[in-house]
């Protein structure tokens, strides 16, 4: 019968709807209690894990090609850069203490009053980010074994980090928030990942102290003022080994967005919430060129908000091999 629920059907539902295998045999047996395929399907559709995957995979609209140029000041003196990063660190330390999971994925179901019920879905969602990275490598004819050391910029609570540690030999990670890092270290300890090193990002080196083969960042750069985004990218791409890959998400356009350092700093508040910023594509390509990197792919997603008001770009670049 078409609606007959069997263990094989349950396993197939996990693969098709959640993109993964069941955690264990017990959850397969439990799913049989739905009684029918249609009842199980509705349960999957209503699950937090499925809804989270819909959010990160939703296809965006397009921003008009005739949109005007943005006025964005993206170069800063060292003193101003230090003040900007200090503001970012204060904001994210506070968010890490008050609403840690929500600060990483800003959905109501990950707020403090819901996270006990949705914590598993929150951390499982990190597998999607890792899988996208692996797909990018495959499209370029590359494999994880080509890249021994991966640097994750903005690891947050280690939502993605354990999945990176499963696929790569060594993972370096950093975050600007000490409160987030504290949780991340607990998560990594519980997951048994011994091939991960976590550091605090500071304006001196942004947590990146040595070279690496692959640089990864998602849902992080967008919360930093443009000069910080530019400095992070320049530091990361400078340390990227010849032939290495950088794969990162960053907003490159927003309708009506502007940024002037003096104006922004005059309005800084200790009670600031999550901010969204833009680094225009010409600035990014200038940094890529200056650091010897060549773009491989540029995709558009919805990570920065609802298009067409915002353009969030997913950029993959490769550093030119040493001569």
The Cα 280–Cα 6 span in angstroms is 52
CA angle 143, 147, 150 (to 5 degrees): 120
Cis peptide before 8 (omega within 30 of 0): no
Phi first, then psi: what are they for 254, rounded to 5°? -150, 130
Per-residue pLDDT band for 302 (boundaries 50, 70, 90) equals: confident
Best CA proximity match to 124, nearest among 64, 166, 85, 71: 166
pLDDT for 66: 85
Inter-residue contact 304 to 55 (CB < 8 Å): no
How far, in Å, are 4, 36, 37, 39 from residue 1 at the CA level? 5, 10, 10, 15
- The pLDDT tens digits for 176-207 are 999 999 999 999 999 998 999 999 998 889 99
Please determine, for residue 157, whether its predicted confidence score (pLDDT) is greater than 90. Answer: yes
- How many Cα neighbours within 13 Å face the side chain of 42? 6
pLDDT for 38: 86
Q: Domain residue spans in the chain?
A: 7-46, 71-319
pLDDT for 195: 96
Write out the H or E segment, with its range, that includes residue 259.
strand 258-259
In percent, the amount of the chain with pLDDT more than 70 equals 95
Q: Which of 30-34, 69-73, 271-275 has the highest average model confidence (pLDDT)?
A: 69-73
pLDDT for 237: 98
pLDDT for 271: 66
- The pLDDT tens digits for 2-26 are 578 899 999 999 988 888 889 899 9
Please determine, for residue 49, whether its predicted confidence score (pLDDT) is greater than 90. Answer: no
Per-residue pLDDT band for 268 (boundaries 50, 70, 90) equals: confident
How far, in Å, are 54, 60, 122, 298 from residue 9 at the CA level? 22, 32, 25, 37
pLDDT for 278: 97
Please determine, for residue 273, whether its predicted confidence score (pLDDT) is greater than 90. Answer: no
pLDDT for 153: 98
- The pLDDT tens digits for 196-249 are 999 999 888 999 999 999 999 999 999 999 999 999 999 999 999 999 999 999
pLDDT for 203: 82
Inter-residue contact 213 to 150 (CB < 8 Å): yes
Kindly report whether the global pTM for this prediction surpasses the value 0.85: no
pLDDT for 270: 64
The Cα 105–Cα 119 span in angstroms is 11
CATH architecture of the domain covering 71-319 = 3-Layer(aba) Sandwich (3.40)
- The pLDDT tens digits for 91-144 are 999 999 999 999 999 999 999 999 999 999 999 999 999 999 999 999 999 999
The Cα 174–Cα 198 span in angstroms is 5
């Amino acid at each position: 019968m078409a609606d007959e629920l069997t263990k094989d059907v349950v396993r197939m539902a996990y693969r098709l709807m959640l993109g993964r295998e069941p955690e264990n045999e017990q959850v397969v047996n439990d799913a049989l209690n739905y009684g029918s395929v249609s009842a199980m399907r509705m349960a999957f559709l209503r699950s937090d894990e499925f809804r989270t995957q819909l959010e990160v995979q939703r296809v965006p609209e397009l921003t008009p090609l005739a949109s005007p140029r943005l006025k964005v000041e993206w170069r800063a003196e060292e003193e101003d850069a230090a003040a900007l990063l200090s503001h970012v660190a204060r904001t994210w330390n506070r968010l890490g203490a008050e609403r840690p999971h929500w600060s990483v994925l800003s959905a109501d179901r990950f707020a403090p009053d819901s996270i006990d019920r949705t914590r598993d879905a929150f951390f499982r969602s990190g597998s999607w980010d890792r899988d996208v990275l692996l797909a990018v490598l495959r499209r370029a004819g590359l494999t994880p074994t080509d890249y021994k050391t991966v640097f994750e910029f903005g690891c947050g609570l280690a939502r993605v980090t354990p999945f990176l540690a499963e696929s790569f030999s060594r993972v370096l990670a950093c975050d600007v928030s000490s409160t987030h890092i504290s949780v991340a270290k607990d998560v990594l300890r519980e997951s048994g990942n011994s091939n991960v090193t976590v550091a605090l990002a500071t304006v001196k080196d942004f947590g990146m102290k040595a070279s690496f083969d692959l640089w990864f960042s998602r849902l992080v750069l967008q919360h930093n003022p443009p000069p910080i985004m530019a400095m992070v990218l320049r530091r990361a791409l400078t340390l990227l080994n010849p032939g290495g890959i950088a794969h990162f998400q960053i907003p490159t356009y927003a309708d009506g967005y502007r940024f002037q350092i003096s104006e922004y700093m005059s309005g800084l508040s200790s009670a600031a919430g999550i901010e969204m910023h833009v680094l225009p594509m010409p600035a990014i390509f200038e940094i890529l060129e200056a650091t010897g990197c060549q773009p491989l792919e540029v995709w558009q997603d919805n990570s920065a908000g609802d298009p067409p008001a915002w353009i969030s770009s997913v950029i993959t670049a490769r550093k030119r091999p040493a001569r």
